[in-house]
Amino acid sequence: MTGTPQRKYRSDYQASIYLIDRVSLDFDIRDGSTRVTARHSVRRNPQLIGTGGRWWLDGRDLRLVSIAVDDEPVADGALEVSETGLWLNGLPDRFTLTVVTEIDPDRNLSLEGLYRSDDMLCTQCEATGFSRITYFPDRPDVMSRYTTRVEADAERYPVLLSNGNCIESGAAGEGRHYAVYEDPFAKPCYLFALVAGDLGVIRDTFTTTSGREVALALYTEHGNEDQCHHAMASLKDAMAWDEATYGLEYDLDSFVIVAVGSFNMGAMENKSLNIFNTACIFAHQDTATDSDFARVRDVVAHEYFHNYTGNRVTCRDWFQLSLKEGLTVYREHQFAIDHGSPGVTRIEQVRMIRDVQFPEDAGPRAHPVRPESYVEMNNFYTITVYEKGAELIRMMAQMAGREAFTKAVKHYLDKHDGQAVTIEDFVLAIEESTGLDLAQFRHWYAFAGTPRLRVSSRFADGRLSLELAQATPATPGQENKPNFDIPVSVALFDDAGQVVRAPEIVRLIEQRETFVFDGLAAEPTVSVLRGLTAPVRLEFDQPDDALVRLMAHDSDPVSRWDAAQSLYMATLKAAVTAHQNDEPMPALGEGMMTAVAALLADPPDDRALLAEMLTVPSATQIGEAFDAIDVAAVEAARRYVKREIAARFEAELERLADAHAPSGGYVFDQVAAGRRRVFATALDYLACLDTPAIRKRAQAVYDAADNMTDRMAALNALQDLPGEEREATRADFAERFADQPLVMDKWLRLQAATEDGDTAARVRDLLADDRFDFTNPNRVRALVGGFVRGNPLGFHRADRAGYALVADEILRLDAINPQLAAALAGLLAPWRRYAEPYAGGMREALARVGEADLSDNTREIVDAGLG
Ligand code: PHE
Ligand code: ZN
């Protein structure tokens, strides 16, 4: 916690001097302490000559009981123990290492290593949690075969699980029992897992294409089994999809998921024993919304897909994290597109990139998809590594064509099966298989920042010249950027909306290039960067009438949505400026009005797409359009535009709501979920008019709802309408779901997002409420994260009470869960993006955090923010 944190550099990589072929672990779980006996067969790395004798093992918060080489205790002189690990000296070329440590999972609130979540014990080892279990080379390029024995009280922990197959189990005397697991696949220690608890289970089977039967099990605390069926169905779906799409069959006889209440992230892909946050497993119509259902489906698939992209072929070092995450998110995205509305699924991905990744790439924490250095690896599980990493894969897939790319991924998996490799190995394999030249494309991995793509078009004599130019702003530590290889999809339409040039991909390689389209009868409407073919900011001034045409006719639903967003944005920007200049709000843009009218008169069949197109850009998107974010002006502009649309189209929106009103009989599928989304969108608009009728209607929807999606639609509509209806529905909600922590997270979010009176004080009260648990990350994210993200006016209050609250929570959390504290610090770090007085207030709070004695995790974020 003290001293200067150590920074690690990608260029410093050195292979491990010793390798461990076999790991044998024995966990003796007792109240107050767990004893871990580890026996390893070790040999010198044959690839490294002239080294050896001395070896570093990582270890943190461990009590070392004994350490022996070939069963001889290591002499004091041959052992140097420190806070972060130990050195062994005088080692032979081959030996058996035996390490005995004691740990106390009950007192481990970091949620890394072995820890308690309610009544069960579980592990989290990625990135470096294994070194909280035993002294070990905690790095992904040391791959070993594991045998694990777990022994515990039979009544308290009837279920004992670890990776691989259970090869033995039985009684161990004194009311205790044991189980032995063997994992036939060599793996890095970050994929190790263990669970012990009194758990309920649902079981199923999956038969692979080649006819093998895989036993599936999903464990959770008793009483939640009925919330796990959607996750189980999703798992089977994912298994079938990976066979059909990539020809990848599951490689063991059993696959187990355990859902735990306290978890720092969404889920973890441990070999054959995935551990999940309950928030990414539980899905029942009474308690989960349609988006919860979709998230469960996608995260279950994501972790399953890691079995090949991540586990069978893993990362050489943590700088290569996107090797497994970018590729797996890409596969998850493909899966999601095959399971929902393709257009809307892509729209959600695009929005994530623009709303979250672009700001990260423009802020103090900007880093390349393959970072060059880090202090704390846990700080690099970022939207850049995950989502931008996936976009880079998608670009390659587009350039190669989907089929050729799938083949190339298989080539990569065959070539490197069982190895720990680098992003460069991946790119090489793709080049080998597809024949693409990715020399310049590689810059995407090495350089941070979002390129700007400026487009201008000229038309004369039946010829359209499209000029594309790129420029990338500097990011911290990277002043100069090279030219990127940018795939840009282009299509041309005539005035009637007919295609005159089918979509094609052009590659911008130089700083500036002109692409010519000949033989055109008249000036066409240009559609570029369709579906975001590259993660760049498009700068293309198109007239309203062109945007209106694209919105109505473009063959790509994502482009239609994008055109609508541009039309809204013009009015929103004008409204922000008017608010800042104390001028009256502008009239709604002609183009925007035409667009909304056309949408309501002739809605697309895809109802989810209709809902998306009716939704005005988020506050984040609006803020992104300005050099300095003026929170109050953005909020005022967004509210004004929504209210104006609602007032102008009240009758149409009423009809839309009526036509999509809940009708009972909940199913989670694309059509039904799309209808619910339209209903919620219409209700949200009508609520802007704050009429007694809409309040009553929302309450009636709430009371009659047979599912959480409709309930939340009603509660959201009432969000800014203080009064009887809001109080009654919220009180009912709190009582009805009092014993469902994940639903109470929704309630906490609602409270935190309500902007009236003293929100900061209300959030402070909730922090002290029984329904809040400071040690559970889901609760913290709901209340504190919900406040910052869901309540911009409350968080950015002029008296700075919102900033102070967040700073206090960062400091309080840092002592128990540094990973989560660092994530919260990330909310204050981008203060430079804001206008005054916001920037100064955020900076002041961040500086106060920086004065404390912090974990390396939080220190890294705070220093980046203040630097
Ligand atoms: N590897 C997990 C995933 O699939 C994420 C994770 C990282 C979980 C670190 C826990 C700790 O994305
Ligand atoms: Zn992942």
804 has pLDDT over 90:
yes
**Structure tokens that stand for 63 in this block:** 């009590």
2 has pLDDT over 50:
no
**Does 13 sit in the ligand 1 pocket, CB within 6 Å?**
no
Mean pLDDT along residues 556-572: 97
- pLDDT band for position 558 (cuts 50, 70, 90): very high
- pLDDT band for position 828 (cuts 50, 70, 90): very high
**Does 124 sit in the ligand 1 pocket, CB within 6 Å?**
yes
Atom of ligand 1 nearest to the CA of 127: 9
Active site residues: 303
Mean pLDDT along residues 677-682: 98
50 phi, psi to nearest 5 deg: 80, 5
The protein residue whose alpha carbon is closest to atom 2 in ligand 1 is 268
Mean pLDDT along residues 722-749: 97
Tell me the percentage of the chain whose pLDDT exceeds 90: 98
Q: Which of these, 327, 222, 223, 234, lies nearest to 274 by C-alpha position?
A: 234
**Does 265 sit in the ligand 1 pocket, CB within 6 Å?**
yes
SS3 437: coil
Distances (CA, A) of 31 to 47, 153, 162: 44, 9, 20
Mean pLDDT along residues 379-390: 98
DSSP 478: B
Measure 316 CA to ligand 2 centroid, in angstroms: 16
Residues 6+ apart with CB under 8 A from 205: 213, 214, 215, 216
Q: How open is the CA angle 270-271-276, to the nearest 5 degrees?
A: 35
DSSP 378: G
1 has pLDDT over 50:
no
Cβ–Cβ contacts within 10 Å for residue 417, how many? Answer: 10
Tens digits of residue pLDDT in 165-196: 999 999 999 999 999 999 999 999 999 999 99
Mean pLDDT along residues 603-631: 97
Mean pLDDT along residues 391-420: 98
Tokens 């697309």, residue? 604
Measure 536 CA to ligand 2 centroid, in angstroms: 24
Instruction: Write out the residues surrounding ion ligand 2, Cβ under 5 A.
Output: 325, 328
Tell me the pLDDT of the chain averaged across its residues: 97
697 phi, psi to nearest 5 deg: -60, -45
Confidence at residue 360, expressed as pLDDT on a 0 to 100 scale? 98
**Structure tokens that stand for 145 in this block:** 């075969």
Sign of the C-alpha dihedral computed for residues 749, 752, 753 and 754 taken in this order: positive
Q: What is the pTM of this model?
A: 0.98
The answer to whether 295 and 709 are in contact (CB under 8 A) is no
Mean pLDDT along residues 605-615: 98
**Does 303 sit in the ligand 1 pocket, CB within 6 Å?**
yes
Distances (CA, A) of 416 to 140, 310, 314, 810, 855: 15, 11, 9, 42, 37
Tell me the percentage of the chain whose pLDDT exceeds 70: 99
The protein residue whose alpha carbon is closest to atom 1 in ligand 1 is 268
* Pocket test residue of 257, 264, 265, 302 for ligand 1, highest count of atoms within 8 A of CB: 265
78 has pLDDT over 70:
yes
**Better-predicted residue by pLDDT, 340 or 3:** 340
Measure 413 CA to ligand 2 centroid, in angstroms: 17
The answer to whether 550 and 565 are in contact (CB under 8 A) is no
Confidence at residue 3, expressed as pLDDT on a 0 to 100 scale? 58
Task: Quote the CA–CA distance of 112 and 710 in Å, as a whole number.
Answer: 37
Confidence at residue 755, expressed as pLDDT on a 0 to 100 scale? 84
Atom of ligand 1 nearest to the CA of 303: 4
Mean pLDDT along residues 388-407: 98
Tens digits of residue pLDDT in 332-356: 999 999 999 999 999 999 999 999 9
**Does 387 sit in the ligand 1 pocket, CB within 6 Å?**
no
Distances (CA, A) of 752 to 746, 756, 770: 10, 10, 16
Atom of ligand 1 nearest to the CA of 129: 11
Q: Which ligand is nearest to the CA of 377?
A: 1
Q: Which ligand is nearest to the CA of 820?
A: 1
Mean pLDDT along residues 102-129: 98
Task: Quote the CA–CA distance of 385 and 390 in Å, as a whole number.
Answer: 8
Task: Quote the CA–CA distance of 713 and 689 in Å, as a whole number.
Answer: 16
Measure 190 CA to ligand 1 centroid, in angstroms: 10
b/e string for 439-455 if b means 16 or more Cβ within 10 A?
A: eebbbbbebbbbbebbb
* Pocket test residue of 124, 125, 126 for ligand 1, highest count of atoms within 8 A of CB: 126
41 has pLDDT over 60:
yes
Q: Which amino acid is at 658?
A: D
**Structure tokens that stand for 58 in this block:** 């990582």
Measure 124 CA to ligand 1 centroid, in angstroms: 9
Residues 6+ apart with CB under 8 A from 117: 111, 260, 261, 262, 263
Confidence at residue 672, expressed as pLDDT on a 0 to 100 scale? 97
